[in-house]
Amino acid sequence: LIVHVQRAATLLQAAQRICILTGAGVSAESGIPTFRDKQTGLWEQFRAEDLASPDAFERDPKLVWSWYQWRRKLVHDKAPNPAHHALAQWQESAETSKSHLTKKQQLTLITQNVDDLHEQAGSTVIHLHGHLWRNRCNQCNASYHYKSVDQKSTLLNNSKENNSKDVINFDDELITCQHCGGYIRPDIIWFGESLPVDAWQTAEQAAANCEVFISIGTSSLVYPAAGLAQLAKQNGATIIEINPNPTPNTIVDITLAAKAGVVMPLLLDQIL
């Protein structure tokens, strides 16, 4: 592993434009299960793909809402792990040259995750698949969201006493929109829905223009996000993958086959 990390670090030190895509695996060491991990209790019998879709919400909004409320309960007290911290530190150094980097680097961090652990670690990140801590009306699109991590915990603590409709609690009861009466749903991009245009354009541009593309903790099965590595490769980038398990990604140049929380601090040690 160390030899491969050194090879990757040499490439990354010389690069000026780096694009990083993270998936559920980067948050696994924080205790947030990936979709392909075994789910617990009631949710064992469902596949995530069958719940995270507009059809599922249409068919049974209560079931889908309950699943997300369960996911929120699971995620709300989780903290960034060494991989999130290493990425945030690298981003800061890349922007300010506060390190052994001889020049500034343009480091674009893109995530498929809906948790906010990158932000909690201090990163600026592009969310391709939306945010677990935001909601919107399924009918009129009105936003119902937590404005900050701090406010999130306050709202969660007060949720039992506070009956305001734009306060999200962990209850399974469906909430209706105060403007149009439609159901409130998580502001997450479900299977079959289009990605946010701005986020996708920025991600595509960063992938097409980077010299090195790093794929961290993603199974590379969910498109279009999985296509970003291919786009980078077609434009001449070197592809690095960090994942303890093999993936169908056949265009990888350097595989760092270990957990992100182990590899990222090692890599950063060599780069900065």
List, in order, residues 6 or more apart from 96 with CB less than 8 Å away. Answer: 104
Of 229, 226, 254, residue with least CA distance to 240: 254
- Site size with ligand NAD, rule: CB under 6 A: 28
Question: According to CB under 6 A, which one of 13, 34, 176, 202 is a site residue for ligand NAD?
Answer: 34
Question: Is 210 one of the annotated binding-site residues?
Answer: no
Catalytic status, residue 84: no
Chain centroid, CA 82 distance in Å: 15
If one asks whether residue 50 binds ligand NAD (CB under 6 A), the answer comes out as no
Query: Which strands, in side-by-side order, build the sheet including 126-127?
Result: 126-127, 106-111, 17-22, 212-216, 238-242, 254-256
Q: What are the φ and ψ backbone dihedral angles of 255, each rounded to 5 degrees?
A: -105, 125
**Closer CB to ligand NAD, residue 61 or residue 244?**
244
Pick out residues in 224-253 that bind ligand NAD (CB under 6 A).
242-245, 247
If one asks whether residue 29 binds ligand NAD (CB under 6 A), the answer comes out as yes
Question: Is 140 one of the annotated binding-site residues?
Answer: yes
Question: Is 105 one of the annotated binding-site residues?
Answer: no
Q: How far apart are CA 175 and CA 154, in angstroms?
A: 19
If one asks whether residue 28 binds ligand NAD (CB under 6 A), the answer comes out as yes
Question: According to CB under 6 A, which one of 138, 219, 230, 238 is a site residue for ligand NAD?
Answer: 219
Question: Is 82 one of the annotated binding-site residues?
Answer: no
The gap between the terminal CA atoms of the chain, to the nearest Å, is 19
Binding residues for ligand NAD (CB under 6 A): 23-25, 27-29, 32, 34-36, 112-115, 129, 217-219, 221-222, 242-245, 247, 259-261
- Give binding residues as ranges: 68, 71, 112-115, 137, 140, 177, 180, 217-219, 243-245, 260
Active site residues: 129
